[in-house]
Structure 1
Amino acid sequence: MTKHTVLTIDDHEDNNLLIKYYLGKSFEVQIAKSGKDGLDILDKSNVEVVLLDIMMPGMNGYEVLDAMLATPKLKNIPVIMVTARTEMEDVREALTKGAFDYVKKPIDFTEIHHKINVAIKYKKQSDELSRISNYKQFYEGLIHARRLQQSILPDKQFFRSIFPESFVIDLPRDIISGDYYWVNARHSNKFLGAFDCTGHGVPGAMLSVMGNILMNKAILQDGAISPKDIFRSLACDFNASLNNSTDTYTIHDGMDGIFCSFNEEKKQIEYVSANRPLIIIRDAKKPLFYNESMIEASLSDDKYSIYLLKGDMRSIGRESSAINFKNHVIDLCEDDIIYLFTDGITDQINECGKNLSKKKLLEFLLGIQDQSLKNQKVALYNYIDSWRKDAPQTDDILVIAVQYKSPQ
């Protein structure tokens, strides 16, 4: 199968070589060491996505972008800006000029890999439907909606300030996503939730924004602390919002999710769930007490045990305000790893139409526990990608991992 071609333009050779090393297995990566060299390659080659460094001597990234947009042959090639600068003005300038997206240094290669795939999908569909005059405007609206949705979610720095040892894999199926996560801290509790709204694309994204707003209300405004009280507040408000509509098509709208409270004083995790399980991995020598009862591991090897813990088998929606969601309590051990995930990963099909499944996910996670969380993220992303291969992504995918460290 022919690889898609990506051009990286950066005056630092080490950056170019690093990008080629990490992305070379999936893409045909070409390298340019200056803006002028990059424009020469673009003129002669069939490049599908450009990774463009902003700060370069001679011709900087903004000038390269301007030159591409002024050239009919090049103006529709998606450009992902790469910047070490964190000022939003720089990012805003690049996006205003016409850049497709941006990533910050040091580069998160799972993030940039996904953004390249989205850019390729965008270019392919844009090319195929260019005869439809309003398509590009519509699609760019989706891109802008994705940026707005991302601005509502916690950014990486805020997430890591609360959970330093953690990672997030967030892969929308249709640019904008029906999956979202929520993180915050209050008193001695750290909160973390993962949610999967009905559908994907625009409908799912609208519900995810509503869910995020209602989560903020439940904790930051209403002052709820217990996960079951938070879910009850969320369910009541969600139900009230949906019931304002007389549209019968919204009767099945809602969301599944799992919400955890990490209590540092008690060294416990308390969680509540609507149709989503929780995964905990710990030292095989240490038993796990679940609601004060010791339980057997779902899977074990000589070093680690993995537990798949279920919750309430009900969704949050129109009928959920009357549900009393149940709290579950687990005593934590040092270096426990807690995984939250939506069903997009386990329902993902391969080329033969087979689902990845919870069983395969547990086996894979157990097999990578000797790796750091950073490497686990890369391994899991590559596993999803290799499982799917050329099969379409069937749903939004969200996976969160947190390693428990007792407070110093």
Structure 2
Amino acid sequence: MFSPLRNKLMFWFLIFTAISILFMGVTWFGIKQEKQYREVIDRIGEYEKTFYKDINVVNNYLLYETADTIYFSKGKSKYLDQHNIFYTKLRKGFNSLNNLENIDDFTLKKNMDGIIAFLTQYDSIIKTIAQKTYKRGFKDYGYVGDMRDKAHFLERHNKYVDQNLLLNMRRREKDYLIRYERAYIVKFREIGNRLNHSINSNTKIGLTQKEAINEALYQYMMLFDKVIQLDKEIGFHSQNGLSKELHTLTKALKAQFSLLVNKTHQRKNELSKELQGYFLIFALTLVLLSILISLRVSKHITNPLRNLSAYINDFISSDFQPDQDYTPLEDKNEIGRLSRNFYILKQEIVRNIRYFKEKVEERTAEILHQKNEIENQKEEIQSQRDILQKTNNTMEKQKQVLEVQNKNIISIIKYAQRIQSALFADTDAVKDIWHDSFVFIQPKDIVSGDFYFFDSIRPQNSPNKHVFAAIDCTGHGVPGALMSILSYNSLKQTIRELEHTNPLFVVTYMNKFIHDALHSRQRNSNLHDGLDMAYVVFEPESMKLEFIGIHMPLYIIRNEELIEYKGSKIMLGNEPEIPHTISKHTINLQKGDMVYMFSDGYADQFGGASGKKFKKKQFKQLLKAISDESIDKQKMELKETFEDWRGTIDQVDDVLVMGFRV
């Protein structure tokens, strides 16, 4: 129905598209060919660099490996291997360039064929030089090595061979191998003839020996001649022979590379100029065609659309007033249809505007009513907020009171810690008694119910003794700390004032001391406070150790085996007297034994991936694993393992581990 306008636009569009496609095709072909030549130039430049690298590699081979015994012993050359890689790369590269479809310049292909031919000769000469060099040899290898063997044979027959003449021959041989001067060749042969005459004129030599010696001398001189001949063919020092051919080919290849690059650049520049000419012609054609299409479009499309756009702007500027006069177009095409559709749309817009004005007025009335309700709710919320503010003020005051009380409690506990620290010696002080020892203690709270004791005494007419004790008092925190101070005083009084170290006496005395202190004024008290203890007396002179355990064992690790001595299942201080069944262990220690005492806090700690206890089995494995480490390393391993196991879980009890190495 509206085909005329569409057909006209399609016709001009197809013409424009066909010319554009033709232009793009020609341009694409020219750019592709120019890009191809640019790629050829880049690749030739890359191959030229590779060729210069290969020249350096070949020079390094001639300079270093021809005088390297490793090359002659193994028969392999890293420089020749590198040359083969470079040569293969160059040969394949130029073959691929020669086969490019867009490179149709006969002269360029001819130059590439010339380079390939030169490269083949170049590689052949290098391989020939390598073969002859390897045959010539160096020191103990090749002809030079065979010469040395023959000379040594003659040296071994010093009874029949004039060693002075032989020595002079060897010197002339070495002079030649170093300087490559002909005078040394003449002297070598002259001395060889004199030596041959000397051997033949010696009547003391048997016929068989004389033949063997003459044969060795003959072989020696013949090998020398072969070396001279190979040097002449290779031309290392005379710049003749293969070396000269290699040098000539190298210069020719360099010239061919430069010529090829220049000709490729020239051909690329010619293509660029041709492409610019085509581009100018097509650009002018497209400009003229665009002007023609614009005039046609302006007549049939632009002017009607401009008139329609002006009326739409007037309609919008008048706030969509219905009194704007507009007569739709009668054209039977897309523009006419657009004009008539706009007229219908205008009528619909005017109707909807009237409808929405009515709805807005109704909604405004509803919003005013809701606003009044919100104002009333706001007053009620303000009243509740005042009540909450008063409650918060009361809670803030209670919080401040609790903070002051908590601060006072912590101050008291820290003071108790200072008292406890003043009573108990520093953990490093145990090294003053026994150097190879450590103490790892970590309270659950600020103060600890676990504590350690160590001392060194020399009873009258007795050898020196060391006392070690690990003690776990009932509870932890402040109650445990108070029990620890009471227990420490009883142990200190027993050992230092009464000068008793016997385990049974110490345990009996401490039990009475603590029981009397806890129950003296409360006869019928139900207190079950007391302590667990591991107590040892070690006599270094006899290597004997006495141990008594109260609910605490003793571990000795010897030759990677853990020996456990269990303690008695009683509690000190809970009963007025201890049972007669309490057992004391006397142990003969050996050099290198590792002794451990500990409370149950380490094994009872929860942690790990499943949040379970560490347990004694795992604790034993840990001690066995670290027993060969230094004392300081053991302490560090115990602390790090404990912290890793605990993770973010709170510590459940005080922790104490003591150890010393015999």
Instruction: Indicate whether the TM-score tops 0.5.
Output: yes
Kindly indicate which of the two structures has a greater share of residues assigned to strand: 1
Q: 1-side partners of 2:401 and 2:643: how far apart? A: 29
Q: Partner amino acid for 1:319? A: E
1:37-48 correspondence runs (5 A): none
Match of 1:312 in 2: 568
Whether the 8 Å contact between 1:259 and 1:272 is mirrored in structure 2 is yes
Match of 2:651 in 1: 393
Match of 1:333 in 2: 590
Whether the 8 Å contact between 2:550 and 2:570 is mirrored in structure 1 is yes
Q: Partner amino acid for 1:340? A: M
Match of 2:602 in 1: 345
Q: Provide Cα deviations, 1:129-188, integer angstroms capped at 9, x if missing partner.
A: 885222112212211211210111122453111011111111100110100111111111
Residue among 343, 364, 367 paired with 2:625: 367
Match of 2:477 in 1: 201
By how many angstroms is 1:323 displaced?
2.4
> Partner of 2:577: helix, strand, or coil?
helix
Residue among 356, 359, 383 paired with 2:614: 356
Match of 2:310 in 1: none
Residue among 551, 556, 567 paired with 1:275: 551
Q: 2-side partners of 1:307 and 1:348: how far apart? A: 23
CA shift in 2, pair 1:131/1:319, >3 Å: closer
CA shift in 2, pair 1:370/1:326, >3 Å: closer
Q: Percent identity?
A: 29
Q: 1-side partners of 2:593 and 2:449: how far apart? A: 29
Moved more, 203-212 or 149-158: 149-158
> Partner of 1:139: helix, strand, or coil?
helix
Match of 2:519 in 1: 243
Q: 1-side partners of 2:546 and 2:554: how far apart? A: 11
1:117-266 correspondence runs (5 A): 131-187=402-458, 188-246=464-522, 251-266=527-542
CA shift in 2, pair 1:139/1:250, >3 Å: farther
Q: 1-side partners of 2:660 and 2:636: how far apart? A: 15
Q: Provide Cα deviations, 1:16-60, integer angstroms capped at 9, x if missing partner.
A: xxxxxxxxxxxxxxxxxxxxxxxxxxxxxxxxxxxxxxxxxxxxx
Q: Partner amino acid for 1:185? A: S
Whether the 8 Å contact between 2:594 and 2:627 is mirrored in structure 1 is no
Whether the 8 Å contact between 2:414 and 2:446 is mirrored in structure 1 is yes
Structure 1: stretches of 5+ with no match in the other structure? 1-127, 284-303
> Partner of 1:322: helix, strand, or coil?
coil
Whether the 8 Å contact between 1:130 and 1:136 is mirrored in structure 2 is no
CA shift in 2, pair 1:277/1:139, >3 Å: same
Q: How many corresponding residue pairs? A: 257
Q: Partner amino acid for 2:500? A: A
Q: 2-side partners of 1:140 and 1:204: how far apart? A: 17
Whether the 8 Å contact between 2:430 and 2:438 is mirrored in structure 1 is no
CA shift in 2, pair 1:133/1:210, >3 Å: same
CA shift in 2, pair 1:158/1:312, >3 Å: same
By how many angstroms is 1:247 displaced?
7.9
Structure 2: stretches of 5+ with no match in the other structure? 1-398, 459-463
Q: 2-side partners of 1:227 and 1:311: how far apart? A: 12
> Partner of 1:365: helix, strand, or coil?
helix
Q: 2-side partners of 1:313 and 1:279: how far apart? A: 17
Match of 1:322 in 2: 578
Moved more, 366-375 or 318-327: 318-327
Q: 2-side partners of 1:374 and 1:129: how far apart? A: 45
By how many angstroms is 1:222 displaced?
2.1
Compare CA radii of gyration and give the structure with the larger one. 2
Q: 2-side partners of 1:159 and 1:129: how far apart? A: 44
Whether the 8 Å contact between 2:467 and 2:501 is mirrored in structure 1 is no
Q: 1-side partners of 2:503 and 2:628: how far apart? A: 31
> Partner of 1:344: helix, strand, or coil?
coil
CA shift in 2, pair 1:217/1:131, >3 Å: closer
CA shift in 2, pair 1:182/1:250, >3 Å: farther
Q: 2-side partners of 1:357 and 1:196: how far apart? A: 17
By how many angstroms is 1:343 displaced?
0.5
Q: 1-side partners of 2:595 and 2:571: how far apart? A: 22
Moved more, 341-350 or 307-316: 307-316
> Partner of 1:316: helix, strand, or coil?
coil
Q: Partner amino acid for 2:627? A: Q
Whether the 8 Å contact between 1:176 and 1:205 is mirrored in structure 2 is yes
Q: 2-side partners of 1:342 and 1:130: how far apart? A: 38
By how many angstroms is 1:308 displaced?
2.0
Q: 1-side partners of 2:633 and 2:523: how far apart? A: 47
Q: What TM-score, normalized by structure 1, do the two folds share?
A: 0.60
Whether the 8 Å contact between 2:513 and 2:573 is mirrored in structure 1 is no
Q: 2-side partners of 1:386 and 1:276: how far apart? A: 25
Q: 2-side partners of 1:403 and 1:256: how far apart? A: 23
CA shift in 2, pair 1:159/1:370, >3 Å: closer
Whether the 8 Å contact between 1:146 and 1:176 is mirrored in structure 2 is yes
Whether the 8 Å contact between 1:129 and 1:135 is mirrored in structure 2 is no
CA shift in 2, pair 1:320/1:400, >3 Å: farther
Kindly indicate which of the two structures has a greater share of residues assigned to helix: 2
Whether the 8 Å contact between 1:182 and 1:193 is mirrored in structure 2 is yes
